Chains A and B, each alone.
Chain A
Amino acid sequence: MNWFAIGNIADIPLRGARCVKTPQGKIAVFRTAENEVFAIEDHCPHKGGPLSQGIVHAKAVTCPLHNWVISLETGKALGADEGAVKTIALKNDGGALFIALESLMVAAE
């Protein structure tokens, strides 16, 4: 597991998200109203919508394409829908944020 610096918590609006580009696709990084930070794949399990563009509420995000609600903690769809995205380990070091990517991905080049 390798930790990559992605920036500061202040770069993300409260109840908002930013995305991080990686070789294996985009990762969405969320900041909740309570200042918690989560990272999940930026790819809704339903039709691949960009979750980073959704509305953030409590510890969940609503996908902008078809309103699936995804838990930021577990990556699982909430409500009647079924599906899940991968969650990405994230470290908040006094506001400096790091995400964990597998070494395999980094070594790929």
Chain B
Amino acid sequence: MTEKLVIIGNGMAPGRMLEHLLEKAPGQYAVTIFNAEPRVNYDRIMLSPVLSGEKDYEEIIIHGDGWYIKHGITLYKGHRIVAIDRDARTVTSDHGVTESYDKLVIATGSVPFILPVPGKDLPGVITYRDLDDVQAMLLAAQSREKAVVIGGGLLGLEAAAGLAGRGMDVTVLHVMPTLMDRQLDPAAGYLLQKELEGRGIKVLCKANTRAIVGNGKVEGIELEDGRIIPATLVVMAVGIRPSVGLAREAGLAINRGIVVDHGMQTSDGSIWALGECAEVGGMVYGLVAPLYEMARVAASHLAGEQGASFVHSDTPTKLKVTGIELFSLGDFADGDDREEIVLRDASAGVYKRLVLKGNKIIGTVLYGETADGAWFNDLKKKQTDISEMRETLIFGQAYQGGAPLDPMAAVAALPDDAEICGCNGVCKGRIVSTITEKGLTALDEVRAHTKASASCGSCTGLVEQLMTLTLGDSYNPAAVQPMCRCTDLGHDDVRRLIKAKGLKTIPAVMQELEWKTSCGCAKCRPALNYYLVCDWPDDYADDYQSRFINERVHANIQKDGTYSVVPRMWGGVTNSGELRAIADVVDKFEIPLVKVTGGQRIDLLGIEKEDLPAVWADLGKAGFISGQAYAKGLRTVKTCVGSDWCRFGTQDSTGLGIRIEKFMWGSWTPAKLKLAVSGCPRNCAEATCKDIGVICVDSGFEIHFAGAAGLDIKGTEVLGLVKSEDEALEHIVALTQMYREQARYLERIYKWAKRIGLDEIRRQIIGDAGKRKAYYDRFVFSQKFAQVDPWSERVSGKDKHEFLPMASIGYGQAAE
């Protein structure tokens, strides 16, 4: 029977727990999640890269909305649970939703600690905990004014570096004598301080905050010694406290956190707790690796398995500030029973310290050069006796046992069970075997299959080294992304070489450019076919077997294997004769769905492949040609009614749209190309989110390009204003040809434009009449070969084999 599992909180720990639980016991629970934050589960560790601008929020989402739908999980976003009724077994949210549970998981995380000083509630004082905080900081950073970060720990320094990177003048206040004193010894803390100061961040240690001052909003910080530090933004990053209020009110056992046993169960047998709010074995945790361990244990118990038990382990700390290498692990306090080994290289900014006890490593601090962190971690974890290599230990793994001095050697020499990704507990052996078994060649693939480097990303370098070790020279992370696995060349190189070497067939390209497969794959063949069609319009014979099915049969394949057909309707204009012909076709072929498209034409869906030529024959009689709704090519030119009808219209937008479509139809482009012409700036044809758009104005035609309204949404950029329809056409055609000649296959115009720069496009198309004319002429030449209606060709018998089965074997047919 399905039990009801309710989870309070939707952070990384419960997210991971659910992944394990869905794998171990799919369908055992009906799951409901209450998330006080109004969003899905995202990678909180990566907030610093979002703050610094190295990543977008979308890139750090762990579970998108689709994941919850796919697994039938109910997620209440923005619902904070305000009460747990343990007798009735219900929880109630601040929006009044009450949900009953059989089992309850509390994962309320932690709350930032707020210094109890005067002024702590002033507007402009924020903490650093979730995406809202990051957005508040980003907003404040636009002012480019002064910010103070209170707290020189991991979070505070990441916030400081992010804000400085965004152009703010940042001061860090830290109460202890050196930065990150819980993770670093004073020497490394000093080096870190110098590095940050070198980046323009001011650091004040031994700085006690007395008050936050300001009249109605933050104006500065007053220190104990009376100094005032001006600031318009104050970020408090002085630590976190387990969030236990809800559990306490429910009467659960509480100490520093919610007390749980080693199976993550609270003092109530129906309630579990995990994450930063849980206290296990007298410890509370804030780093992700132990939290994921809790998730594993809790999932195992919820799935009905006994015996899983949380085991404490030290987790290395790394600072996620680009360009700062820092690694800290274990215990590094001085002591009579301890020895230490220290290496300093002042000019290189390197400091390494190993703390030993009884010939075993118990602590490590590395600054400036951290490649051996994983190895030291492994030695510590396994309690390896290091007396044999004591002399050379500090120099790292590459120096042990006379191994050659090779940057890869350290990674190569790691044992298979050495942990590479601390966040996800992935060891070297698992990564290497997965790369080999699954034939992985890209970092993203390794992340998808193993989860290594998929959380904080600080082990990315190690994972890439493992890929290089496993794949040999074929993996080069710095290289251009190859077109596909058939070649090492990127799209741009291939395009350049096709022209330079005069390669005019797919076999010639594969031979001359040393393709690694005999006849390519479904990624490279369509790309090569397009490049050759574009570059040699008169010489190249289109290879239909290298075209995607839609372009091979000139219709759009649907999920059930039937096809849809869209006749061209110039500028979206039609008449009674055309509509009557469409109606007749629909009746004759019993077409199940007729649908008006977003591009102002009519889609006929559910046509059997064998019927396609007959459907086209009937449509052709009414004057229709293919709308090429399947093509990486010119699709539609959407129009409004313009000056002929509209009381606001400034130009004949319908006429111009039809003229453009009649000029450009049939052309193949790197990706689909959708145009629109609006008759006035009210923009009823929505031209400003198209690949190319025209806004008619009194003084002429404003040409736009590089919009998007699909996976991405993006308004267009203005190419320029021209006076006449002829000029508008010439500019649009020239721009299209430039895009055709330069873009990578499947690259939409807005991505191409972003890559090569808007100014360069304007320079060539607007600023250089000679270039513009040359592009225009090449397009016109290419159209001589492209403007052949593929439907009428097939009606007259071309590619007949495509539309008929090879044979039909019936029941009655005799066997040979």
Task: State which of B449, B519, B521, B801 has its C-beta within 8 Å of the C-beta of A80.
Answer: B449
Residues of B within 8 A of A71 (CB): none
Q: Are A13 and B545 in contact (CB under 8 A)?
A: yes
**In the complex, which residue of chain A has the Cβ closest to the Cβ of B519?**
A33
Residues of B within 8 A of A20 (CB): 805-809
Q: Are A79 and B439 in contact (CB under 8 A)?
A: yes
Q: Is B473 positioned at the interface, with any CB of A under 8 Å from its CB?
A: no
Q: Is B522 positioned at the interface, with any CB of A under 8 Å from its CB?
A: yes
Alpha-carbon separation in the docked complex, A17 to B816 (Å): 24
Main secondary structure of the interface of B (DSSP, over half): loop
Q: Are B520 and A57 in contact (CB under 8 A)?
A: yes
Q: Is A73 positioned at the interface, with any CB of B under 8 Å from its CB?
A: no
**In the complex, which residue of chain B has the Cβ closest to the Cβ of A5?**
B816
Residues of B within 8 A of A69 (CB): 521-522
Residues of B within 8 A of A2 (CB): 815-816
Task: State which of B449, B545, B801, B810 has its C-beta within 8 Å of the C-beta of A55.
Answer: B545
Alpha-carbon separation in the docked complex, A21 to B561 (Å): 14
Q: Is B549 positioned at the interface, with any CB of A under 8 Å from its CB?
A: yes
Residues of A within 8 A of B806 (CB): 6-7, 11-12, 18-20, 29
Q: Are B548 and A58 in contact (CB under 8 A)?
A: no
In the assembled complex, the CB of B518 is this many whole angstroms from the nearest CB of chain A, namely: 6
Task: State which of B801, B807, B811 has its C-beta within 8 Å of the C-beta of A108.
Answer: B811
In the assembled complex, the CB of A5 is this many whole angstroms from the nearest CB of chain B, namely: 6
Q: Is B812 positioned at the interface, with any CB of A under 8 Å from its CB?
A: yes
Per-residue contact bits, chain A 83-109, to B (CB 8 Å; 1 contact, 0 not): 000000000000000100101011011
Task: State which of B439, B517, B801, B813 has its C-beta within 8 Å of the C-beta of A57.
Answer: B517
Beyond A55-B525, A80-B449, whether A109 also contacts B811 by CB under 8 A is yes
Task: State which of A15, A47, A49, A108 has its C-beta within 8 Å of the C-beta of B545.
Answer: A15
Task: State which of A11, A48, A62, A103 has its C-beta within 8 Å of the C-beta of B815.
Answer: A103
Alpha-carbon separation in the docked complex, A13 to B816 (Å): 26
Q: Are B545 and A14 in contact (CB under 8 A)?
A: yes
Q: Are B517 and A58 in contact (CB under 8 A)?
A: yes
Q: Are A4 and B445 in contact (CB under 8 A)?
A: no
Q: Which of B119-154 contact A (CB under 8 A)?
A: none
Q: Is B232 positioned at the interface, with any CB of A under 8 Å from its CB?
A: no
Beyond A3-B815, A3-B816, A50-B561, whether A56 also contacts B545 by CB under 8 A is yes
Residues of B within 8 A of A67 (CB): 522
Residues of A within 8 A of B544 (CB): 13
Residues of A within 8 A of B807 (CB): 4-7, 20-21
Q: Which of B549-606 contact A (CB under 8 A)?
A: 549-550, 552-553, 557, 559, 561
Q: Are B809 and A4 in contact (CB under 8 A)?
A: yes
Q: Are A64 and B816 in contact (CB under 8 A)?
A: no
Q: Is A75 positioned at the interface, with any CB of B under 8 Å from its CB?
A: no
Alpha-carbon separation in the docked complex, A49 to B559 (Å): 7
Q: Are A4 and B557 in contact (CB under 8 A)?
A: no
Residues of A within 8 A of B813 (CB): 4, 106
Q: Is B627 positioned at the interface, with any CB of A under 8 Å from its CB?
A: no
Q: Is B526 positioned at the interface, with any CB of A under 8 Å from its CB?
A: yes
Q: Are B809 and A23 in contact (CB under 8 A)?
A: yes
Q: Are A4 and B815 in contact (CB under 8 A)?
A: yes
Residues of A within 8 A of B549 (CB): 53-55, 64
Task: State which of A3, A19, A23 has its C-beta within 8 Å of the C-beta of B811.
Answer: A23
Residues of A within 8 A of B816 (CB): 2-5, 98
Residues of B within 8 A of A98 (CB): 816
Alpha-carbon separation in the docked complex, A105 to B809 (Å): 10
Q: Is B438 positioned at the interface, with any CB of A under 8 Å from its CB?
A: yes
Q: Is B171 positioned at the interface, with any CB of A under 8 Å from its CB?
A: no
Q: Is B546 positioned at the interface, with any CB of A under 8 Å from its CB?
A: yes
In the assembled complex, the CB of B230 is this many whole angstroms from the nearest CB of chain A, namely: 55
Residues of chain B touching chain A, judged by Cβ–Cβ distance below 8 Å, are 438-439, 445, 448-449, 517-522, 525-526, 544-550, 552-553, 557, 559, 561, 801, 805-813, 815-816
Taking A6-B806, A26-B805, A50-B561 as known contacts, 20 extra A-B pairs with beta carbons closer than 8 A to each other, sorted by chain A number, are: A3-B816, A4-B807, A6-B809, A7-B806, A7-B807, A20-B809, A23-B809, A23-B810, A29-B806, A33-B519, A34-B518, A53-B557, A55-B525, A55-B526, A57-B519, A58-B518, A69-B521, A79-B439, A106-B811, A108-B811
15 contacts between A and B (CB under 8 A): A3-B816, A4-B809, A21-B809, A22-B808, A26-B805, A29-B806, A49-B559, A50-B561, A53-B557, A57-B520, A58-B519, A58-B521, A64-B557, A101-B809, A108-B811
